[in-house]
Amino acid sequence: MKSFYLPRAANLILLTAMPSALFSQSSRADLKKPNILVILSDDMGYSDIGCFGSEIKTPNLDRLANNGIRFTQFYNTARCSPSRASLLTGLYPHEANMGNLASENYTEPGYGDDLSKNSVTLAHILKKAGYATYMTGKWHIAKDISPKGNKENWPLQRGFDRYFGTLNGSGSYYDPGTLISNNTFVPPGKNFYYTDAISDTTVKFIRQHPKDKPFFFYVAYTAAHWPLHAPEKEVAKYKGKYDIGWDSLRVLRFNKLKKLGIISNNCVLSKRSVEVPAWKDEPLKAWQVRRMQVYAAMIDVMDQGIGRIISALEEKGELDNTVIFFMQDNGGCAEPQGSDQPEIPPTADQLVLKPTSYDSINLSKKPIYTRDGRFVRSGRGVMAGDANAWMAYGPEWANVSNTPYRMYKQYVHQGGIASPLIVHWPEGIVKKGLITRQLSHLIDIVPTCLEITGVQYPTIFDNNAIQPLEGISLIPALKNQNTKREFLFWEHSANRAIRIGDWKLVARVKNQKRFTPADENVWELYDLDKDPSETNDLAARFPERVKEMAAKWEAEALRTKAKPWPWNTSEKIKVKSE
C-alpha cells in the first residue's frame, strides 16, 4: 500500500466541489439522495466477527461484507469517547475537545471532554441539507448528563431529530443508567435488554420514516462492552465452543484471517500477552469459558438486531439506496472490572431482596441491586451473564479478540486501534465482496458521506468557526482505486503513534496519563507491509527515520491540541474508568 500526499486545503476544495453523481447509477435524474446508516459497536477486537476471522455467528454482518467492501487497514482512536467524536465530526478527537473521556474534567485545549462548538456533527450538516436524522444507542460525548443539567451537547442539540439510548459510557444491559428518549429520562421496563432495545427502536424509526425524505441514522451499540450480560438462551448456543481455551482459539482465528484474505502472508501471530497465562495453567477454566460464551452471545444478539434493521430497510424498499457502514470504537478491552480479584461472598444484608419499581430510573453506571432485588456481584469466580453479575472478559480473551495483534483498548498499537470496516451500498458499489488494504480512519467517514450526498462541509455553523476536516473521502477505495493521504496520527493517555505509508512509529507509557522523561525515547518502529502485527521493532536499525517521524508526531500533537497534556503538571482530577 503506497501513501500519497494531498494537502488538507486541496482536499477540502475537492470535497466541497464534488457533485452528488459519483457512480453510473446516480446519473438518473429521478434518483433520490442515498440514505446513510452508520453502525458502531463497542469494545470489540479485530477478529470478533465472522467475516474477519471469528467463530462467533454474525451472518448479517457477513452478508453486508460479502455484498460490499471490507477495509482491512481501518483505524479508530483507541477509546470510546474520542472515537465517537472523530466519527461524527471528521476531526482528530482533541480538535473536537474530546482528548480523553467525556466523564473527565480537564481544562487544557483538546481535553475539555465536551464536544466542541468549533466542530459540527454529520447529523447537523445533513439535517441542514434536508435529511431526517436519527440515533439509537450510546452517546458518551457530553460532559453534563444529569437530568437537570446543560443539554447543549446531547444528541438532539447536536443535530438529531430523534434519539433513544444512554448518555454515559457503560452500564447494565438490563438496567442501564442515563437511558433517555429524546431529552427525557425513561425507565427500562420489564424484559428489557439494551442491545435488543437499540435494534428494535432503530427498526421502529425506519418504519416510521417518511418515504419522500432521505435519512442519516447512527446506531451505536454498547455490545460488547462490559459488563458481560446476555440472555441465557443465547449463551447456550456457545456451549463447548471455548473449552479449547485462548491459545488454540487465537491460532484458529489467525488461520481463518489468512484464509479469508484479511491479513497478508507476511503476517505472523503475535505472542500471547505477558499477563495472560497459558490455557493449560488456568485454574478456573469453567469461569473463563463462561466469560467468553457470554461475550460471544452479546455479539450474536447485536448481529441478529442488525439483521432486523436490514429487513426493515428491505421492507421499505430502501436497502439498495442506503449506504451502510459498520466499524468499532476501539480494540478488545483488557479492563478487569473486578474480574482479577477473588469473589467476595455477599453479606447477609446484601442477600436481602430490595426490589426496585420499574417506574424508577437508574442514573448510576453500576446498580447495587438488580430490579428484582438481587445484589450485583463481581470478582474472580462470579459467573457472567445475568443481571446480578458485573464482569469483564479481561486480557485473556481480549488477546483473542485482537488476533493477530497485540495490546488493547487505550493503547495505540494495532490491538488498540485496528478495526474492521464494512461498507455496503448496492447502488454505489460495483465490485461486491472486495477486500481493500487502503489506509483509512474514523475521520474519513464524514468526508465520505458528504461526497456521497453532495453536501458541502461548512466553515461557519451556528455562528461558530468550524475547523477544517482532517479526514479524506474513501470514495476512491469504494471504486477499487487508491486513496491519497500523507499520514495518520494518534494520541491517547500519552500513548503515541504516527503512520506514514507502511511505516508506523508507536510508543506506550509505563503508566497511563503519566508521561515521564523515561517515556520520551521509547519509540518502536515497524514496517507494517512486512510486519503487520508489530513483532519486529526496527527502531535501532533506522534511528534517522525514528527521529524524523517523532518530530512529525510532535508537530501534529501541537497542531491538533493533543499537547500540552493536562496530566503533566498536577493531579487535576481523580481518574475515572469508563
Q: Which CATH class is domain 8-20+34-559?
A: alpha beta
Average pLDDT over residues 69-86: 98
446 is written with which cell numbers?
Answer: 464524514
C-alpha to C-alpha distance for 227 and 172, rounded to whole angstroms? 6
What pLDDT, on the 0 to 100 scale, is given for residue 570? 42
118-127, 153-162, 424-433, range with the lowest pLDDT: 424-433
Average pLDDT over residues 270-298: 97
What pLDDT, on the 0 to 100 scale, is given for residue 430? 84
Per residue in 437-483, pLDDT tens?
999 999 999 999 999 999 999 999 999 999 999 999 999 999 999 99
What pLDDT, on the 0 to 100 scale, is given for residue 574? 39
Going by pLDDT thresholds of 50, 70 and 90, the confidence category of residue 1 is: very low
What pLDDT, on the 0 to 100 scale, is given for residue 338? 74
3-state secondary structure 54-116: CCCCCHHHHHHHHCCEEEEEEECCCCHHHHHHHHHHCCCHHHHCCCCCCCCCCCCCCCCCCCC
Q: Per-residue pLDDT for 520 more than 80?
A: yes
Q: Per-residue pLDDT for 3 more than 70?
A: no
Going by pLDDT thresholds of 50, 70 and 90, the confidence category of residue 339 is: low
Q: Per-residue pLDDT for 24 more than 70?
A: no
C-alpha to C-alpha distance for 527 and 541, rounded to whole angstroms? 12
What pLDDT, on the 0 to 100 scale, is given for residue 97? 97
What pLDDT, on the 0 to 100 scale, is given for residue 302? 99
Q: Per-residue pLDDT for 21 more than 70?
A: no
- DSSP run (H or E) holding 125: helix 122-128
Q: Per-residue pLDDT for 76 more than 50?
A: yes
Average pLDDT over residues 16-20: 37
Q: Per-residue pLDDT for 497 more than 60?
A: yes
Going by pLDDT thresholds of 50, 70 and 90, the confidence category of residue 13 is: very low
| Residue positions counted in the chain | 578
Q: How far is CA 351 from the centre of its chain?
A: 37
C-alpha to C-alpha distance for 368 and 364, rounded to whole angstroms? 9
Going by pLDDT thresholds of 50, 70 and 90, the confidence category of residue 568 is: low
Average pLDDT over all residues of the chain: 92
Residue 305 phi/psi, 5-degree rounding, is -65, -40
C-alpha to C-alpha distance for 185 and 359, rounded to whole angstroms? 11
What pLDDT, on the 0 to 100 scale, is given for residue 12? 38
Tell me which of 198 and 24 has the higher pLDDT: 198
pTM: predicted TM-score of the whole model, two decimal places: 0.94
C-alpha to C-alpha distance for 86 and 96, rounded to whole angstroms? 7
What pLDDT, on the 0 to 100 scale, is given for residue 576? 40
Per residue in 230-250, pLDDT tens?
999 999 999 999 999 999 999
Per residue in 304-323, pLDDT tens?
999 999 999 999 999 999 99
Omega before 404 within 30 of 0, i.e. cis: yes
Tell me which of 319 and 16 has the higher pLDDT: 319
Going by pLDDT thresholds of 50, 70 and 90, the confidence category of residue 14 is: very low
CB 89 within 8 A of CB 121: yes
2-16, 159-173, 262-276, range with the lowest pLDDT: 2-16
Q: Per-residue pLDDT for 352 more than 50?
A: yes
346-355, 367-376, 421-430, 462-471, range with the lowest pLDDT: 346-355
3-state secondary structure 416-445: HHEEEEEEECCCCCCCCCEEECCCEEHHHH
What pLDDT, on the 0 to 100 scale, is given for residue 29? 41
CB 510 within 8 A of CB 521: no
Question: What b/e sequence results for 255-294 when a residue is b if at least 16 CB atoms lie within 10 Å of its CB, and e otherwise?
Answer: ebbbebebbeeebebbebbeebeebeebeeeebbbbbbbb
Q: Per-residue pLDDT for 572 more than 60?
A: no
Q: According to DSSP H, which parts of 488-542 are helical?
A: none
